[in-house]
């Protein structure tokens, strides 16, 4: 092999190597290449590095098919790093930039996960119990607003109700569970929502003894649930709600007796016996009716 031929061969090999290197660099700098690199770093747990590469892909190729996928890497990296609000902010930016993307459902699902996680972790009883969960509640409301009849709407409503319940706002929690029961009757969460609504009403009875609406609703829910499930605890709780209602009518009757209105007092005592025959107050009412009837008979003689 003469010297000239060797030099030509060497030049050819060098040119091929340079071409391959240039092609490799070009592939790495392409939207698909940057996305693949970002995913590789993400899988290794290098979330900050993955985010930088993904942002580079979005910035350089904002209209490419890979841009949305790269942006999702940014979202997921924040979620992995325990930065849910930053992740949510990126979701909102992504939806604003690509409102009709085929990944819309995937983005909304991430927003649900973020909102539900904040509610679950931060809702606490006490003065500031709901303050920590408020951001999560607002995110979940946004999920419902975006897809009111989507696959996650009922889950979002339930999660909001749970946050209010854990925070001690039983009226707000009851409203959410009631909303789920009325608007998503076929939801798998409907039965759980009915149970939760019953407990909310029971708690509201403790705080507002003169408002019997929660008692009536709790009694109705618990009776339905106990019949369906056969649960002895639910039967007992329904009986407790019944006793609250019976006591209310019984005490109303006593009030009228104390103020000299015997007719009204007797009317309430008869109502206690008719409406709540299995209640302990039915027996008390019976004794009072007998005593008053006997006294009235003596007066006539």
What φ, ψ does residue 136 adopt, rounded to 5°?
-65, -40
Angle at 172 between CA 171 and CA 175, to 5 degrees: 90
Give the number of residues written for the chain.
Answer: 301
Ranges of each domain in the chain: 209-301
Q: What are the pLDDT digits (tens) for 10-52?
A: 655 555 554 443 343 344 579 899 999 999 999 999 999 999 9
Reading the block at residue 161, the tokens are 């109700």
* 46: three-class secondary structure by DSSP: coil
The single residue listed with the structure tokens 């119990």 is 129
Reading the block at residue 98, the tokens are 């690509």
Query: pLDDT-derived band of residue 242, with 50, 70 and 90 as boundaries?
Result: confident
The single residue listed with the structure tokens 């106990």 is 226
For residues 256 and 103, the model is more confident at 103
Burial (0-12, 13-18, 19+ Cβ within 10 Å), 205: buried
The span from the first CA to the last CA of the chain, in angstroms, equals 146
CB atoms within 10 A of CB 75: 24
Asked if residues 38 and 53 have their Cβ atoms less than 8 Å apart, the reply is yes
User: What's the fold here for domain 209-301?
Assistant: 1.25.40
Taking the C-alpha atoms of residue 267 and residue 289, their distance in angstroms, rounded to an integer, is 10
For residues 105 and 221, the model is more confident at 105
Classify residue 278 by its DSSP letter. T
Q: Which residues are CB-neighbours of 82 under 8 A, at least 6 positions away?
A: none
Long-range contacts of 278-286 (CB under 8 A, 24+ apart): 278/239, 278/242, 279/242, 279/243, 279/246, 280/243, 280/246, 281/243, 281/246, 281/247, 281/249, 281/250, 282/246, 284/250, 285/250, 285/253
For residue 262, the model assigns a pLDDT of 87
Reading the block at residue 93, the tokens are 């930016």
Q: Is the pLDDT of residue 158 over 90?
A: yes
What's this model's pTM, rounded to 2 decimal places? 0.64
Q: Is the pLDDT of residue 238 over 80?
A: no
Asked if residues 114 and 84 have their Cβ atoms less than 8 Å apart, the reply is yes
Query: pLDDT-derived band of residue 257, with 50, 70 and 90 as boundaries?
Result: confident
Nearest to 171 by CA among 134, 138, 217: 217
Nearest to 36 by CA among 61, 60, 66: 66
């Amino acid at each position: 092999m003469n010297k000239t031929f060797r030099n030509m061969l060497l030049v050819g090999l060098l040119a091929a190597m340079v071409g391959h290197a240039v092609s490799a660099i070009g592939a790495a700098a392409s939207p698909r290449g940057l996305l693949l690199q970002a995913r590789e770093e993400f899988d290794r747990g290098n979330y900050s590095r993955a985010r930088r590469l993904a942002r580079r892909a979005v910035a350089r190729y904002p209209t490419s098919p890979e841009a949305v996928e790269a942006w999702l890497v940014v979202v997921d990296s924040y979620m992995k790093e325990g930065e849910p609000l930053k992740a949510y902010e990126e979701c909102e930016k992504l939806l604003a930039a690509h409102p009709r993307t085929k990944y819309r459902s995937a983005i909304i699902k991430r927003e649900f996960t973020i909102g539900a996680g904040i509610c679950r972790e931060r809702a606490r009883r006490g003065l500031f119990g709901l303050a920590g969960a408020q951001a999560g509640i607002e995110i979940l409301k946004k999920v419902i607003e975006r897809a009111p009849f989507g696959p996650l709407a009922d889950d979002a409503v339930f999660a909001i109700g749970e946050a209010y319940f854990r925070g001690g706002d039983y009226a707000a929690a009851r409203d959410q569970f009631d909303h789920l029961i009325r608007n998503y009757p076929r939801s798998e969460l409907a039965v759980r929502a009915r149970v939760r609504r019953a407990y909310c009403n029971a708690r509201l009875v403790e705080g507002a003894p003169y408002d019997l609406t929660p008692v009536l609703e709790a009694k109705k829910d618990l009776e339905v649930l106990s019949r369906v499930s056969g649960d002895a605890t639910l039967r007992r709780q329904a009986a407790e709600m019944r006793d609250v209602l019976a006591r209310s009518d019984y005490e109303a009757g006593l009030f009228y007796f104390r103020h000299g209105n015997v007719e009204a007092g007797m009317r309430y005592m008869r109502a206690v016996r008719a409406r709540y025959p299995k209640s302990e107050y039915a027996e008390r009412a019976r004794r009072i009716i007998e005593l008053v009837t006997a006294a009235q008979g003596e007066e006539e003689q």
